C-alpha cells in the first residue's frame, strides 16, 4: 500500500510569506502552473483513491492534478494546522523558533498545537490503513499535514524543530504503508 502526499499549489499567503492556516484561499497563477506540472507525475501513478482537504486551495489543486478522474473524498482531518490569530499575519522569527517546534509551549489564541495536529494525522493514517488496505492513496493537503505524515514514519528530532521538514508547493512524497 502506497501513500502519496501532494501539497497544494502556491497561494498569495505563501507568496507573501504569511500564515494561511485554515484561511480558505485559492491558489494563484503560479500555483495553477505548479499543479499542472505535478499533474503529469500524478497521472503516471497507480492511484486508487484521492483524499483531499476541503479547503479551496487543495480542492483546486486536486481538480487540476486528477487527470485520471480518480474518485475523490474530502476529509476535514487533512485541513491545515489552525494558526489562530496568526492567520494572514507575516511570518516572523516566531515561525522559525516556536511555530514549528514540537515542544513549544508558546501560547497563541486559537493556535493548534503540533502534538494535536500530529495526533489528528496519525489517527487519520491509521484509519485509512485499515479501511483501504492494499490500495494506493493520494492525499492532497497542506504543509503542516505533510509534516504530520512525514513524522508518522520518522522520529521527531530531539530539538523538536520541524520547519525544515515541510513540502514545497505541489511537492509530492511517497510512503509505504505496511501492515
Task: Dump pLDDT digits (tens) for 65-97.
Answer: 999 999 999 999 999 999 999 999 999 999 989
DSSP-assigned letters across all residues of 128-162: HHHHTTT--EEEEE-HHHHHHHHHHHSPPPTT-B-
Instruction: Identify whether 80 is a catalytic site residue.
Output: yes
Over the stretch 12-60, which tens digit does the pLDDT of each residue have? 999 999 999 999 999 999 999 999 999 999 999 999 999 999 999 999 9
Question: DSSP label at 167?
Answer: -
What are the residue boundaries of the structural domains of the chain, listed by start?
2-176
* Crossing angle of the two packed helices 114-131 and 143-153, in degrees rounded to 10: 70
- Using a 10 angstrom Cβ sphere, with 0-12 exposed, 13-18 middle and 19 or more buried, the burial of residue 94 is middle
Q: Is it the case that residue 179 has pLDDT exceeding 80? A: no
Instruction: Identify whether 8 is a catalytic site residue.
Output: yes
Q: Which CATH class is domain 2-176?
A: alpha beta
Contact predicate 73/52, CB 8 Å: yes
**pLDDT tier at 135, thresholds 50, 70, 90:** very high
Contact predicate 84/109, CB 8 Å: yes
Q: Per the residue annotation, which of 25, 79, 80, 112 is the catalytic one?
A: 80
**pLDDT tier at 129, thresholds 50, 70, 90:** very high
Q: Is it the case that residue 161 has pLDDT exceeding 70? A: yes
Q: Per the residue annotation, which of 8, 25, 60, 142 is the catalytic one?
A: 8
Amino acid at each position: 500500500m502506497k501513500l502519496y502526499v501532494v501539497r497544494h499549489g502556491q497561494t498569495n499567503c505563501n507568496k507573501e510569506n504569511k500564515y494561511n492556516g485554515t484561511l480558505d484561499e485559492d491558489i494563484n497563477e503560479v500555483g495553477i502552473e505548479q499543479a499542472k506540472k505535478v499533474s503529469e507525475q500524478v497521472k503516471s501513478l497507480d492511484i486508487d483513491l484521492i483524499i483531499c482537504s476541503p479547503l479551496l486551495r487543495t480542492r483546486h489543486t486536486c481538480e487540476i492534478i486528477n487527470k485520471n478522474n480518480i474518485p475523490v473524498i474530502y476529509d476535514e482531518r487533512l485541513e491545515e494546522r489552525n494558526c489562530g490569530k496568526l492567520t494572514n499575519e507575516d511570518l516572523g522569527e516566531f515561525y522559525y523558533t516556536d511555530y514549528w517546534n514540537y515542544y513549544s509551549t508558546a501560547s497563541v489564541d486559537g493556535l493548534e498545537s503540533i502534538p494535536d495536529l500530529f495526533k489528528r494525522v496519525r489517527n487519520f493514517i491509521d484509519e485509512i490503513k485499515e479501511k483501504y488496505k492494499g490500495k494506493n492513496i493520494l492525499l492532497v493537503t497542506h504543509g503542516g499535514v505533510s509534516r504530520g505524515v512525514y513524522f508518522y514514519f520518522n522520529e521527531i528530532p530531539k530539538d523538536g524543530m520541524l520547519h525544515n521538514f515541510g513540502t514545497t508547493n505541489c511537492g509530492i512524497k511517497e510512503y509505504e504503508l505496511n501492515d
